[in-house]
Amino acid sequence: MSEGTIRLSKSRRSSIELLRIIAMLMIILHHFALHSTTYFGANFTINAYLMQFFQSFGKVGVAIFFIITGYFMFGSKRPNSRKDTTKRLLRLARPVWFYAWTIFIIFATLGMIALHSGFPIDSNITRSILPIISDTYWFVGSYILLYLLSPFLKRWFDALTKRKIIGLLVTAILLFNLPAYINFFLNGHFSTFTGVDSLYIILIYPLLGYFFHRFNPRHKDIQLAILTLCATLFAFIAGPLFREFFINQFGVSVPGDLFWNASSVLCIGFAASAFVLVSRLNFTSRFVNYLGGLMFSIYLIHDNFLVRNWIWDKFLHVGTRAVNYSPAEFILFAVITVLLIFVVCSIIEALRRFFVSRIMVLSHFISQKFISCKLNTAETKQ
């Protein structure tokens, strides 16, 4: 099946594709605040609060993506073979290479980046030409590792009972997350074990997705999900205020990701409850299914290291607007910006798929004609 073909297999569920779209909007909003250079000084203004609040949704969006991946990748009854893994890796790599190379060529041609010759090779070149092994996209690296481990994780997950999965999830929270918060409230220092976020992204969130597929949430679980979503959303809203209070009252250096790092209880609760609630929606939409398939490329385009260095500060001037705009103006600007980037990147990816599909059809036609001519020539000689 070509990349330009709309994949509408029976496994595609519009509700989950909708959740994929919502997760990407969260990630764009996170990048809007994270990658802009903003200086508020010692003033904690409403816009300074908004910038911290916007950042809260990035790791939640990532968590949702990996829950969805676990839901489909490990929820299937068919075991994950090496052939499946190879297909997934190739499907993943094609758009990564395309956008990394294309964006680099555009920026270099237009003189938007300064390149130096000699040794060592310019990092802009290595990160663009070798986007996978040079860790240009950490998100992609996490997916590749998950794909490579998927045959082994699938067998392990299938061997676990419901009680053991719940026990494993609770143990992960208690062992890797709770001590960090206790240490913060006792000593004013917050730190998790090195690599904990990666462990959650590659193991815990896919396991959650597998759990939701294998043990379909019941009615009482839906009620719990509603309460959890409301509670975690309130915590995200109050988080920047809590952080500012600790800084002013106790002079404690509070990390910005205290509440929304990938391994936090709040991130787990928000992502899991959002998945449970949205996935329960029962509708079918060809447009939503198609749009959901574009999300990975939207990430590759707007969070390319060359694009993000240019778009947020040099083109959109987010930091300057955050300082000078009123809160109402800044919120409107943020909403329009996120939607605009989402739409533009979607159009770019849709066009890429369209032209790739046409090129593949044309190449197939030419190859068939070539083979036919060869056969006719052989028959004539006989």
Q: Is the distance from CB of 323 to CB of 40 less than 8 angstroms? A: yes
Distance CA 320, CA 36 (A): 9
- Per the model's pLDDT, the better-predicted residue between 193 and 14 turns out to be 14
On whether residue 8 sits in a domain, the answer given is: no
On whether residue 66 sits in a domain, the answer given is: yes
On whether residue 332 sits in a domain, the answer given is: yes
Distance CA 113, CA 149 (A): 37
Counted domains in the chain: 1
pLDDT for 194 equals: 56
Please give the full DSSP string across 94-158, using - where no structure is assigned.
HHHHHHHHHHHHHHHHTT-S----SSSPPHHHHHHHSTTTTTS-HHHHHHHHHHHHHHHHHHHHH
Average pLDDT, integer, range 96-117: 87
Most confident of 87-101, 229-243, 341-355, 366-380: 341-355
pLDDT in tens, 319-336: 999 999 999 999 999 999
Domain that holds residue 203: 14-381
On whether residue 2 sits in a domain, the answer given is: no
On whether residue 9 sits in a domain, the answer given is: no
pLDDT in tens, 266-295: 899 999 999 999 988 989 999 999 999 999
pLDDT in tens, 180-217: 777 766 666 666 655 677 888 899 999 999 999 998 87
Quote the crossing angle between the two packed helices 82-109 and 138-159, to the nearest 10°: 170
Q: Is the distance from CB of 26 to CB of 60 less than 8 angstroms? A: yes
Which phi-psi region, left, alpha or beta, contains residue 54 (left: φ > 0; alpha: ψ -120 to 50)? alpha
On whether residue 212 sits in a domain, the answer given is: yes
pLDDT for 24 equals: 97
| Distance between start and end Cα atoms, the chain | 37
